[in-house]
Chain A
Amino acid sequence: EPEVTQTPSHQVTQMGQEVILRCVPISNHLYFYWYRQILGQKVEFLVSFYNNEISEKSEIFDDQFSVERPDGSNFTLKIRSTKLEDSAMYFCASRPGVQNSPLHFGNGTRLTVT
């Protein structure tokens, strides 16, 4: 069964550094999402992406964050200048173009900012 893959599984970075988290959504999906989960807290929506542009974003997704689909397969989340509070699990998800189809999530990247 096709799945969403995320790399790396764990990334450690120093405060102030830029980090790029990578995702390969399921191949025929059209909607792409990033979520994060701070340790012990609930899964929080960051941003959704459709037709090469952001379709929806939360208040968490500020100017420090950006997303890109640089080619036909990858979907990336960039954090420009990481802060300690960016430490979290980051999940990518995708869904087909059929309305009401479910999202499928990857297993996440654990980001640790030191």
Chain B
Amino acid sequence: DAKTTQPTSMDCAEGRAANLPCNHSTISGNEYVYWYRQIHSQGPQYIIHGLKNNETNEMASLIITEDRKSSTLILPHATLRDTAVYYCIVPNNQAGTALIFGKGTTLSVSS
């Protein structure tokens, strides 16, 4: 798995955009970038994933740099319920491979 580096924690004001960075400089070939979050002790929740094009869904946008060595998860209008630990994961490209979680970024959204 490509190693990822994320800040330990970030703060965001409610209603503002939250931009969570991730470095994955050793990413290679057809490895995808996945983002998950974990709210309190609930199961990890899938947010979004991408290969090289920017992606958007109802939860977030994913911006991947052209060299693919880093990416940013954007929550366009953060709410208090977005307070969670956010994980950026780059698994190897083998079929069915497991995701390995690091420590992630703790995002605190405040009013």
Contacts and interface: CB of A to CB of B under 8 A. Distances in A.
B96 A48 contact: yes
Given A43-B44, A104-B46, A105-B44, A99 B95 contact: yes
A12 interface: no
Interface residues of A, number: 28
Interface size grouping (class) on chain B: 20 to 34
Point out which of B32, B49, B96 has the most chain A C-beta atoms below 10 A from its C-beta. B96
B43 A105 contact: yes
Interface majority SS (helix, strand, loop, mixed), chain B? loop
B44 A42 contact: no
Contacts of B111: none
Contacts of B100: 45
Interface in B34-68: 34, 38, 41-46, 49, 51
A105 B100 CA distance: 14
Interface in A79-98: 89, 91, 93, 95
Interface majority SS (helix, strand, loop, mixed), chain A? strand
A80 B107 CA distance: 38
B51 to A, nearest CB: 8
B81 to A, nearest CB: 16
Interface of A: 4, 30-31, 33, 35, 37, 42-45, 48, 50, 55-56, 89, 91, 93, 95, 99-100, 102-108, 110
17 contacts: A30-B96, A42-B103, A43-B44, A56-B96, A56-B98, A99-B93, A99-B95, A100-B30, A100-B51, A102-B46, A103-B99, A105-B44, A105-B45, A105-B46, A106-B43, A108-B42, A108-B43
